[in-house]
Amino acid sequence: MKYRHIVLIVVLILLVDQILKFWIKTHMTIAEQFPVISDWFYIHFIENEGMAYGLKFGGEFGKIALTLFRLIAVVIGFFYMNKLVKEKYHNGLLICGALILAGAAGNLIDSMFYGLIFSESTRYELAQFMPAGGGYGTFLHGNVVDMLYFPLFDGTLPNWVPIWGGEHFIFFRPVFNIADAAISVGVITILLFQKRFLHKKTGATEPVSTARLDDTQKAM
């Protein structure tokens, strides 16, 4: 696999991620949802100030620190992926690295620019792209857009279940986005196949020398 293939994977995932986020921001209000497949897959619009799957990190300072960390990680990531390509690591590792890099870049774009280019999304008003009065935040203070919701189980747990028996339970509760999914798939796949992925490709078999070939023919 060549480095341009890594860049192509990253660009394609970023396009899908950002197109969906732009559509959500300009067509849905906060907490609005609609079913995609039966009762277990919804588009449900929320925003978060922190990490993947709605997790938060250290308030206002944490928000800036996390955004800067993402920026540094993405820049270093592109250089590191180029190094892995040159060293001919397994294509599976390179693809997973591209997924993780694309996911980090996707959420980074939200954090860096969405506060500048969108008005605030509320439960009653749609956000506007490039509003006349400016966006809802400043550089590095944008919220990450999430929308994928998979409540595969939504009900009451049996009483025999320890601790949570008899309580209402939803699985899978977190709402996430394409970028989060790309990171998760990349990381989980590397963990599952690390023995296969974390090595360089071996070179071609060394050609048999003419002298050895002649000796073999004489022995025959």
Q: What percent of the chain stands above pLDDT 70?
A: 85
Delimit the domains of the chain by residue range. 3-203
Instruction: Give backbone dihedrals phi and psi of 170, rounded to 5 degrees, phi first.
Output: -125, 130
Query: Is-catalytic flag, 110?
Result: no
CA distances from 122 to 32, 63, 216 (A): 10, 21, 81
Q: Is the pLDDT of residue 212 over 70?
A: no
Residue 74 belongs to what H/E stretch? helix 59-86
Q: What is the greatest pairwise CA distance in the chain?
A: 89
Spatial separation of the C-alpha atoms in residues 101 and 103, rounded to whole Å: 5
Q: Is the pLDDT of residue 1 over 90?
A: no
Nearby residues of 163 by Cβ (< 8 Å), 6 or more positions away: none
Instruction: Give the model's confidence band at 64: pLDDT under 50 very low, under 70 low, under 90 confident, else very high.
Output: confident
User: Mean pLDDT across the stretch 100-112?
Assistant: 95
CB distance 6 to 81 below 8 Å: yes
CB distance 103 to 180 below 8 Å: yes
pLDDT digits (tens, 9 = 90+) for 151-208: 998 889 888 988 888 888 888 889 999 999 999 999 999 999 998 898 776 554 444 4
What residues pair up with 160 in beta bridges, in sequence order? none
Give Cα 63 to chain centroid, integer Å: 18
Higher pLDDT: 63 or 11? It is 11
Nearby residues of 153 by Cβ (< 8 Å), 6 or more positions away: 169, 170, 171
Q: Which is the catalytic residue, given 146, 154, 214, 215? A: 146
**In the chain, where does DSSP find H-type helix?**
3-27, 59-86, 91-117, 178-192, 194-197, 210-219
**pTM (two decimals):** 0.82
Higher pLDDT: 64 or 146? It is 146
Least reliable range by pLDDT among 6-15, 57-66, 72-81 = 57-66
CB distance 104 to 70 below 8 Å: yes
Q: What percent of the chain stands above pLDDT 90?
A: 64
- State the chain's mean pLDDT as an integer: 87
Query: Is-catalytic flag, 180?
Result: yes
pLDDT at residue 29 in the model: 98
Q: Which is the catalytic residue, given 17, 180, 214, 215? A: 180
